[in-house]
Amino acid sequence: MELFLSELSKAFLDDMILLAVDRASWHVTDKLKLPDNIRFHYLLPYTPEMNPIEQIWQTVEAKQKFIAQIMSSKSPVRSCEDVDETALRYAEIKALCAGNPLIAEKMNLDIEVAKLRMLKADHQSQHYRIEDDLLKRYPEQIISVKERIEGI
């Protein structure tokens, strides 16, 4: 970071430079020595719309959602939860840019785990519904049918 700032300072020796930066640890550390002609203007926290880098990552995430939709061969008309499951988070996209195959493998495993969790939740939901039917609904229906039969 200091090398970049030093080169920037040298390129614009006669100018005062005001850099808009987020509050990343390397921007706020006391160890960072700013050249005399450079000042930082810190962006407000939680304002990604003011940070050009975050805007780029939002675009990448939107494209990833579209790609995931196409690659999954699912119908374009789907619930938001379904799309979000396969979309990558910012950090994962940034990590993928490093080109580490282990990160890609981890992401694929995370997607599989998410699918398995959904299947488990769906199975449990069906199980509880059937259990509820067996313990409450069916006995009530049996009593109702027996009463109708006796009334005939």
Give per-residue pLDDT as tens, 83-99. 444 455 655 666 666 66
pTM for this model (two decimals): 0.35
Mean pLDDT (whole number) for 1-25: 89
Asked if 147 and 128 sit in the same domain, the reply is yes
Closest CA to 57 of 94, 22, 11: 94
Alpha-carbon distance 61 to 89, whole Å? Answer: 7
For the CA atoms of 103, 65, 125, 129, the dihedral, rounded to the nearest 10 degrees, stands at: -170
Element (H, E) at 3: helix 2-11
More confident call, 32 vs 67: 32
Q: How many domains does the chain have?
A: 3
Token pair of 141 as six digits: 């229906």
Clarify whether residues 32 and 64 are in a common domain.
no
Q: Are residues 94 and 110 in the same domain?
A: no
Same domain, 58 and 90: yes
Using CA atoms, how far residue 125 sits from 20, 78, 117, 133, in Å, is 50, 20, 12, 12
| Burial bucket for residue 4 (CB in 10 Å: 0-12, 13-18, 19+) | exposed
Q: How confident is the model over 102-122, as a mean pLDDT?
A: 81
Indicate whether 56 and 85 sit together in one domain: yes
Write down the residue that tokens 């990604």 correspond to. 48
pLDDT tens profile 45-104: 767 667 677 778 778 887 787 777 666 655 444 444 444 444 556 556 666 666 667 776
Same domain as 64, residue 25: no
- Shared-domain flag, residues 34 and 53: no
Residues 121, 142 within the same domain? yes
Q: What does the pLDDT read at residue 33?
A: 92
Enter the tokens of residue 98: 């490093």
- Could you tell me the residue range of the domain that residue 84 belongs to? 49-98
Contact 61, 38 (CB under 8 A): no
